[in-house]
Amino acid sequence: MNPNELEKAAKIILRGGLVIYPTETFYGLGANALNKKAIEKVFEIKKRPLSKPISIIIADRSWLKELVVEIPKIAVTLMEKFWPGALTIIFKANPKLPSNLIAGTGKIGIRVSSHPVAQKLVSLANVPITATSANISGKPPPSNVKSISLNRINFIINEGSAPGDISSTVIDITFTPPLILRKGKVKITL
């Protein structure tokens, strides 16, 4: 992990640019999740349907109070057990979040990454960062930078191979009981 590269990447994100970075699952496409124009670029470059929201990573749980409407008990239990890690929790979104980020759903997927580069990057940028995989929508997510075919990326943090075996688990806690939307790296039984 090169500290100069991470600082450069964080500055690019703060200027509205796009950075590819490793996570505990695959390589992600990072943009400032509070910048509507940067999020537009993510949708455009990935050819992602505008109806599909984009999840984010944060540095730690204290950031949630600015991003979500409420933090139910089940979320606290899940965060204590699985964060940092490959668990994306879907909360009711703060209405102040960019509308394109949440794609009109009123919900936001959030995780705290266990990958040291992703952790440091989001901490340095000091803003939530998009956590969508660095691929064209519908194509396999990349586990190394050689397999990335996206254009108009401002910076790539190459840390060799990401685990690339399985995506994060996604659980929507806005339902009672919570709903597992994608089975992934973290095994949860409800």
Q: What is the pLDDT of residues 7-50, one digit of tens each?
A: 999 999 999 999 999 999 999 999 999 999 999 999 999 999 99
Q: What distance in Å separates the CA atoms of residue 135 and residue 64, rounded to the nearest whole number?
A: 27
C-alpha count within 13 angstroms, C-beta hemisphere, residue 152: 13
> Has residue 187 been placed in a domain?
no
Q: What is the average pLDDT score of the chain? A: 95
> Has residue 189 been placed in a domain?
no
Q: How confident is the model at residue 147 (pLDDT cuts 50, 70, 90)?
A: confident
% of residues, the chain, pLDDT over 90: 84
Angle CA(142)–CA(38)–CA(147) in degrees, nearest 5? 15
> Has residue 188 been placed in a domain?
no
Q: How confident is the model at residue 165 (pLDDT cuts 50, 70, 90)?
A: confident
* Residue 22: domain span: 3-182
Q: Answer whether residue 1 shows pLDDT above 90.
A: no
> Has residue 58 been placed in a domain?
yes
Average pLDDT over residues 55-69: 97
Q: Answer whether residue 164 shows pLDDT above 80.
A: no
Strand blocks (E) in the chain: 19-22, 27-30, 56-57, 87-92, 107-111, 129-130, 132-133, 155-156, 169-172, 179-182
> Has residue 13 been placed in a domain?
yes
Quickly count: other Cβ atoms within 10 Å of residue 146's Cβ. 9
- Secondary structure element (H or E) that encloses residue 159, with its range: none
Tokens of 99: 């509308």
Q: How confident is the model at residue 170 (pLDDT cuts 50, 70, 90)?
A: very high
Indicate the burial class of 187 (C-beta count within 10 angstroms; 0-12, 13-18, 19 or more). Answer: exposed
Cβ-proximal residues to 165 (8 Å cutoff; 6+ apart), any chain: 25, 185
Q: In CATH, what number is assigned to the domain containing residue 166?
A: 3.90.870.10
Domain count, the chain: 1
Q: So what's the pLDDT on residue 3? A: 85
Tokens of 172: 């929507």
> Has residue 56 been placed in a domain?
yes
pLDDT digits (tens, 9 = 90+) for 86-133: 999 999 999 999 999 999 999 999 999 999 999 999 999 999 999 999
Q: So what's the pLDDT on residue 149? A: 87
> Has residue 21 been placed in a domain?
yes
> Has residue 47 been placed in a domain?
yes
